[in-house]
Chain A
Amino acid sequence: MGSNMAEAHPVGFQWVIEAKARGAKVIHIDPRFTRTSAHADQHVTIRAGTDIAFLGGVINHILGHDLDFREYVRAYTNASFLVNERFQDTEDLDGLFSGYDPHTAAYDASSWSYAGVTAQERPGDHAKETSEPYRHGAKGPFVEEGPGEMEADPTLEHPRCVFQVLKRHFARYTPEMVERICGVPQELFLDVCRAWTANSGRERTTALVYSVGWTQHSVGAQYIRAGSIVQLLLGNIGRPGGGIYALRGHASIQGSTDVPTLFNLLPGYLPMPDVAHEDLAGYLDTVRGPREKGFWGDADAYMVSLLKEYWGEAATAENDYCFDYMPRMNGDHGTYRTVMDMNDGKVFGYFLLGQNPAVGSAHGRLQRLGMANLDWLVVRDLAMIESASFWKDAPEVETGEIATERCRTEVFFFPAASHVEKAGTFTQTQRMLQWRDQAVAPSGDQRSELWFFYQLGLRLKERLAGSTDERDRPVQDLAWDYETEGDEPSASDVLRHMNGIDLRTGRTVDGYFDLKADGSTACGCWIYSGVYAGETNQARRRTPHTRTGPYDAEWGWTWPLNRRVLYNRASADPDGQPWSERKKLVWWDAEAGEWTGHDTPDFERTKPPHYQPAEGASGPDALSGSDAFIMMRDGKAWLFAPAGLADGPLPTHYEPHESPMRNLLYGQQANPVRKVYGRPDNPSNPAPPEAHGEVFPYVFTAARLTEHHTAGAMSRQLPYLAELQPALFVEVSPELAQERDLRHLEWAHVITSRTAVDARVVVTDRMAPLRVDDRVVHQVWMPYHWGTTGLTTGDVVNDLIGVVADPNVFIQESKVLTCDVRPGRRPRGPALLEYVADYRRRAGITPETGTRIATAGGHTERAHIESHDRPEDAS
């Protein structure tokens, strides 16, 4: 679901084809029939943005028919824990959970905690501005108290136990409701339920694959929660052939969250310090709870080692390891906030590295207008991209909104070396680091990113060398001493530093358990610790599975500690024996007194299955022998999230921000905590209960083609790729073609309240209308790779999309919106602005449209309206 694996991840799809050859059944649930569907046994057309309703239906089917893997659920999930008496569900509050504040559109999550836990009341608005839930990504947030006194009912019958709460929450997600919301016929839906449940249990496991079709929604994190709940109920986590596969969008997007390019995270998912953190101790107290279980208990060693890596000799126990040098967050510094601040004149300079937001980010217009309002812009890319040339060829030049001769932005373009021109690692979706050697030397002035930042650092240090200003100390003290190969910094030396070094011996550490909080080790990314164990580049290993078995133990290196399947303790029963011979992965060898198996056990090697922690233990010592989910603070997988999510402890079906439908389940229409930015330059199409949604009657979704790569800089410039998909097109069903008089290969244009874009029409049976609550809903799809440069050019599809975001991770909702489609080409020049303004007038759109986000219980508060310097007609 939410993944077009064959087209977006064709190399990985070879394993799906292989699984099919071995008898696996493939089900593809997607708004359109894709190259993935062509190889699925079952295709299910779904209305974009309704996956939680579908998955909620699956959960209801499982619980209503007692189809869960009860022993697994009881042993490894929090199903038996009791929830706080103050907790109120969406069933009680018409789509809201307890703790909602309509003025801030945020939750105080204290009532979601476990029973017996005295959670502090905490308004959620600050957390919402800093994407706090994302910072809990790898560990789960506090459960406030130690796990010892958790109230539980192992029979799972207590009305307040998680299992029963879950059952009630999804009870109305019936096959009939799924059909009315998703447009999926009941029989088809039940076929999927039957296939999924029949293929799960002791003897069989089912894998779930998702991609950005799930994440790019205003309720995206909860999509993944919903999928996780299904997989946990069926016992498909931590077991061979099971799991949830998050296919990432680029070769090393996984790497760019592990060693992040995100404003709120440090390497290894350590949170970015906040203005509230006075010192290191205060920071660490918020990373690890006082008496919590699990491996985050050693966060002090990870953080001190990171500070030692950053500031080397200068970082000492006396100066708190230079913790005060760390920048502090005081709010939302995410990419979309930054772009709006650019438009508002609050940002002066911008670095773009391997990114082309003028084409590839949502609301391309806002991106380009923002970049046209900077003092300077640095762009490093393989080719001259739209984000470097917008000042002369943006669509806004044609409409008169950007005047080339008056555009103030000074653009510095640096040619970049490509991945074959430099050495380094990619971290793929399985968390596997794979080293690649340099194949050819970069030509001309092309240089690697590593070279650029190393040189930039050297120059900054040189410039600030004589400064006595305290604020320059972090740069002056920065440890910037990498080995070089020619004039390039050595990528393998950088990887060594990420692995971690024992400063007493100068040798690499073998894993994160070697890291110390006393300043004797340095480590750039604790989860990568072990990738250079034994002074050997483990990521460079290339022993194929034909020689090492199906888990490829010596191909590349997977974090943590080369484990291929996370939480694989769950592949054995509580007694430590495999759930079945057929699905054995790791198990307890009583004779040897250790865990063993086909994969590196994701558990303390010698902790027996029936181990019970001592009273008052904390950290890893507090984990019992059956606490398989060793990174979670209670050792259990969470069906119900007692804290940590901005928008609720359980996934709930909300309509997308822009939808043709009223929410059929609750008065609350869309995610009540989603981040909206009500600005004249960021209008929304109206959605019920607002009027005039009919002006934009169709559901729009966008995605990638195999033949192009994201914003197109790497493919539109290449003749062999450009000729394979030579023009921007819009896919419509024969039914919609008839309704709007669209003809195959002729021109049409797609309109939203942001703009209108031209495209050639492709009429295809692969698109099909849906019957949703007794009305027919048409869906429209476009690939988004085109822009103004390259061998094939076209309008920017992302210009159609406005900015509204998931409150947990700040990802934009670009996978579903509403639109209109008309035959023929759009108006050109200033006439385009007038044309779109006319649509806004007809739909009654103002900056307030879409910002009254609480629609349950008679709330009418606006969430977030911003005034805007530039007058623009958005009425």
Chain B
Amino acid sequence: MTRENSFHGPLTDPAADAGHRDHPPRVGFFTDTSVCIGCKACEVACKEWNDVPEDGIDLLGMSFDNTGMLGASSWRHVAFVEQERPLGRQDAGLADLPVGPSGTEATTEVVADALEVAKRGGGDLGTAPVDLGFPSFGLPGAATGVESRTEFRWLMSSDVCKHCTHAGCLDVCPTGALFRTEFGTVVVQPDICNGCGYCVSGCPYGVIDRRPVDGRAWKCTMCYDRLRDGLEPACAKACPTDSIQFGPLDELRERADRRLAALHEAGVPEAQLYGRDPEDGVGGDGAFFLLLDDPEVYGLPPDPVVPTRDLVSIWKHVGLAASALVAASAAVFLRGGRR
């Protein structure tokens, strides 16, 4: 068994690692995007319960997504992805219709431009829109290549703070405003946060962000107050199709494995788990996902790494460098002493 540490790799009990004794089991979210119907009830329930302000009544036109990204005032974000490929054995019924080329690439280009200038709470202070790297085309329908679209699928996915096993935001917070709860989740205390913004660059997912109004950092608390009262988080409670499932992380992982196997068997080989693996760059996520495509399609980083993963090696190098400096200085003084 590998020796567990607080910086990277698997860690069975982050709450204990943070000093909680006799704590409840680690809880989390399993978001099964294959049953998400994109109703956005999670976004609304989250804002209602946590009193998160509205952050921009502007049409982004990113399919049905007008939230754009997670941020200081969007703790849940439902992404909508329109794609020219089939979903498992689903038939979009396009065969033999008089269709031309897909318009998705052209609209994506328009949206990317719009998103740059969209007023998004804290967006200008921290994370910039994720460039999904789609090529640009001119007028809709003017794309070259495929003559007519034959496949289509519409993916929906509710994103949230990952509550990492090794949380970059928490590790870099100089005030102690961010802390690890007894449930293994990561929470910001707004009365302690001084708005330094280190956490914003410390998050490998671009989740946590600052509100322009006072500069303090905000993100999903997994409804810490509800958890302490024995209630499930507001988003999971509101989700009509159980796309957002809440519970002890161990149970959720087993459930996710079963669901993944069932989907693979049902002819959806592209289904994959994201953030499930304790061996990944953040030691596994407290909020993980079943996706129907690669993570970058949903605006998720494919290989997130907590900045502290390299801490030991950094300090080793720093140590070496420091030793060298000390040695050099000593040599100077020694030399000087001879004079």
Pairwise interchain contact A745-B59, C-beta atoms closer than 8 A: yes
CB distance from A201 to the nearest CB of B (A): 24
Contact B97 A763 (CB under 8 A): no
The verdict on B66 contacting chain A, using a C-beta distance below 8 Å, is yes
B107 touches A763 (CB 8 A): yes
Q: Which residues of A contact B82 (CB under 8 A)?
A: 764-766
Indicate with 1 or 0, residue by residue over A720-756, a CB within 8 angstroms of chain B CB atoms: 1111111101000111011001111100000000000
B54 within 8 A of A: yes
| A27 CB, nearest partner CB in chain B, Å | 10
Q: State whether the Cβ of A10 lies closer than 8 Å to any Cβ in chain B.
A: yes
Closest to B102 in A: A765
- Cross-chain contact B97 with A45 (CB below 8 angstroms): yes
What is the interface of chain A mostly: helix, strand, loop, or mixed?
mixed
Question: Which residues from 146 to 195 on chain A have a C-beta closer than 8 Å to any C-beta of chain B?
Answer: 183, 185, 187-188, 191
Q: Complex formed: what's the CA distance from A285 to B266 in Å?
A: 59
Separation of A465 and B171 alpha carbons in the complex (Å): 78
**Contact yes or no, B107 A764, CB < 8 A:** yes
Bound state CA distance, A21 and B255, in angstroms? 14
Q: Tell me which residues across on chain A come within 8 A of B92, comparing CB atoms.
A: 33, 37, 43
Q: Give the docked Cα–Cα distance between A770 and B91 (Å).
A: 16
Q: What is the interface residue range for chain A against chain B?
A: 35 or more
CB of B231 within 8 A of chain A? no
What are the interface flags for B21-64 relative to A under an 8 Å C-beta threshold, 1 for contact and 0 otherwise? 00000000000000101111101100110000111111101011
What's the minimum C-beta distance from B82 to chain A, rounded to whole angstroms?
6
- Are B141 and A737 touching (Cβ within 8 A)? yes
| A765–B114 alpha-carbon span in the complex (Å) | 20
User: Is A35's beta carbon under 8 Å from chain B?
Assistant: yes
Name the B residues within 8 Å of A191 (CB-CB): 91
| Complex Cα gap A724–B74 (Å) | 11
Report Cα–Cα, A550/B48, bound state, in Å.
33
A735 touches B141 (CB 8 A): yes
Any A CB within 8 A of the CB of B178: no
Do A38 and B98 have beta carbons less than 8 Å apart? no
Which A residues are CB-close (under 8 A) to B66? Answer: 723-726
Chain B residues in 8 Å Cβ range of A45 = 93-94, 97
The answer to whether B240 and A13 touch across the interface, beta carbons within 8 angstroms, is yes
User: For this complex, into which size category does the number of interface residues on chain B fall?
Assistant: 35 or more
Alpha-carbon gap, A14 to B106, bound state (A): 34
Question: Which chain A residue shows the least CB distance to B56?
Answer: A723
B240 touches A10 (CB 8 A): yes
CB-CB < 8 A to A734: which residues of B? 100-103, 106, 140-141
How far, in angstroms, from A187 to B325 measured CA to CA in the complex?
78
Q: Is the CB of B152 within 8 A of A769?
A: no
B154 within 8 A of A: yes
User: Does A792 touch B at the CB level, under 8 Å?
Assistant: yes
- Given the complex of chains A and B, what is the CA–CA distance between A724 and B67 in angstroms? 7
B107 touches A17 (CB 8 A): no
Partner of A766, one of B38, B48, B100, B154: B154
Q: Which chain B residues numbered 94 to 114 have a C-beta less than 8 Å away from chain A?
A: 94-104, 106-107, 110-111, 114
Enumerate chain A residues within 8 angstroms of B242, measured Cβ to Cβ: 14, 17
Whether B139 sits at the interface, judged by CB under 8 Å, is yes
Whether A188 touches B106, Cβ cut-off 8 Å, given contacts A33-B154, A762-B61, is: no
Measured in the bound complex, the distance between the Cα atoms of B141 and A741 in whole Å is: 10
Least distance between A723 CB and chain B CB atoms (Å): 5
Contacting residues, chain A, for B96 (C-beta < 8 A): 185, 187-188, 771
Cross-chain contact B97 with A719 (CB below 8 angstroms): no
Knowing A35-B38, A726-B58, the reply to whether A744 touches B90 (Cβ < 8 A) is no
Selected contact of B103 from candidates A17, A42, A745, A764, CB within 8 Å: A764
Contact yes or no, B156 A35, CB < 8 A: yes
Partner of A738, one of B44, B93, B140: B140
| Interface assignment of B20: CB less than 8 Å from any CB of chain A | no
Asked if A791 is an interface residue, CB under 8 A from chain B, the answer is: yes
Q: Which residues from chain B contact A776 at a C-beta distance below 8 Å?
A: 98
Give Cα A637 to B295, complex, Å: 53
Contact A11 B57 (CB under 8 A): no
Q: Which residues from B are CB-within-8-Å of A21?
A: 35
B136-180 CB mask vs A (1 if < 8 Å, else 0) is 000111100000010011111000000000000000000000000
User: In the bound complex, do residue A744 and residue B141 qualify as a contact, i.e. CB atoms below 8 Å apart?
Assistant: no
* A236-B59 Cα distance, complex, nearest whole Å: 44
Q: Which of A43, A721, A734 has the most CB of B within 10 A?
A: A734
B12 within 8 A of partner (CB):
no
Interface residue? A272 (CB, 8 A): no
Cβ-based interface call for B84 (8 A): yes
Given A724-B44, A738-B139, A764-B103, answer yes or no on A41-B110 (Cβ-Cβ < 8 Å).
no
Whole-angstrom distance between the alpha carbons of A191 and B59 in the complex? 38
| B241 lies within 8 A of chain A by Cβ | yes
Q: Mark A6-38, 1 if CB is under 8 A from B, else 0.
A: 110011011001000100000000000101011
Q: What is the minimal beta-carbon distance from A50 to any residue of chain B, in angstroms?
A: 15
Check: B338 CB closer than 8 A to any chain A CB: no
Known A719-B57, A726-B58, A765-B82; judge A743-B139 contact (CB<8 A): yes
Task: Select from chain B the residue with minimum beta-carbon distance to A28.
Answer: B93
Q: Mark A38-56, 1 if CB is under 8 A from B, else 0.
A: 1111111100000000000
Distance (whole angstroms) from the CB of B57 to the closest CB of chain A? 4
Closest residue of B by beta carbon distance from A26: B90
Rounded to whole Å, the gap between the CB of A195 and the closest CB of chain B is: 11
B228 on interface, CB distance cutoff 8 Å: no
A726 touches B95 (CB 8 A): no
A760 within 8 A of B: yes
CA distance A582 to B67 in the complex (A): 46
A797 CB within 8 Å of chain B: no
Q: Which residues of A contact B63 (CB under 8 A)?
A: 764
| Contact between B241 and A706, CB atoms less than 8 A apart | no
A179 to chain B, nearest CB (A): 9
**B89 adjacent to chain A (CB < 8 Å):** yes
- Residues on the B chain within 8 Å of A738, using CB: 100, 139-142
Residues of B within 8 A of A742 (CB): 140
In the complex the two chains form, is B61's CB within 8 Å of A760's CB? yes
Task: Please give me the residue from chain A that is nearest to B151 by CB atom.
Answer: A765
Are A10 and B103 in touch, CB under 8 angstroms? no
A722, B57: Cβ atoms closer than 8 Å:
yes
Task: Determine how close the nearest CB of chain B comes to the CB of A794; give it in whole angstroms.
Answer: 10
Q: Report if A743-B67 is in contact (Cβ < 8 Å); known contacts: A13-B240, A43-B93.
A: no
Are A763's CB and B103's CB within 8 A? Answer: yes
Contact A743 B91, CB 8 Å, known A45-B97, A726-B57: no
Q: Which residues of B contact A274 (CB under 8 A)?
A: none
Chain A contacts of B98 at CB under 8 A? Answer: 735, 769-771, 776
Tell whether A6 pairs with B37 under 8 Å between CB atoms, given A724-B44, A745-B61: yes
B152 touches A765 (CB 8 A): yes
Given A745-B110, A764-B103; A706-B40 close (CB under 8 Å): yes
Q: Complex formed: what's the CA distance from A724 to B44 in Å?
A: 9
Of A7, A768, A791, which is within 8 A of B99 by CB?
A768
How many Å from the CB of B305 to the closest CB on chain A? Answer: 33
CB A433 to nearest CB in B, in angstroms, measures 21
- Tell me, in angstroms, the Cα distance from A40 to B153 when the chains sit together: 10
B153 (CB) vs chain A CBs: closest residue: A38
Closest residue to B46 on the A side, CB-wise? A720
Which 6 A-B pairs have CB atoms at the shortest separation, nearest pair first? A734-B103, A719-B54, A738-B141, A185-B96, A727-B59, A38-B154
A sample of 15 inter-chain contacts (CB < 8 A) reads A6-B37, A38-B38, A39-B37, A41-B89, A42-B90, A45-B93, A45-B94, A188-B95, A188-B96, A720-B54, A723-B57, A733-B103, A744-B110, A765-B149, A771-B98
A-B contact sample (6 more), CB < 8 A, given A39-B37, A720-B47: A45-B93, A187-B95, A707-B40, A733-B99, A762-B61, A765-B103
Residues on B lying within 8 angstroms of A by beta carbon are 35, 37-41, 43-44, 47-48, 53-59, 61, 63-64, 66-67, 82, 84, 87, 89-104, 106-107, 110-111, 114, 139-142, 149, 152-156, 240-242
Report A's interface with B, CB cutoff 8 A. 6-7, 10-11, 13-14, 17, 21, 33, 35, 37-45, 183, 185, 187-188, 191, 705-707, 719-727, 729, 733-735, 737-738, 741-745, 760, 762-766, 768-771, 776, 791-792
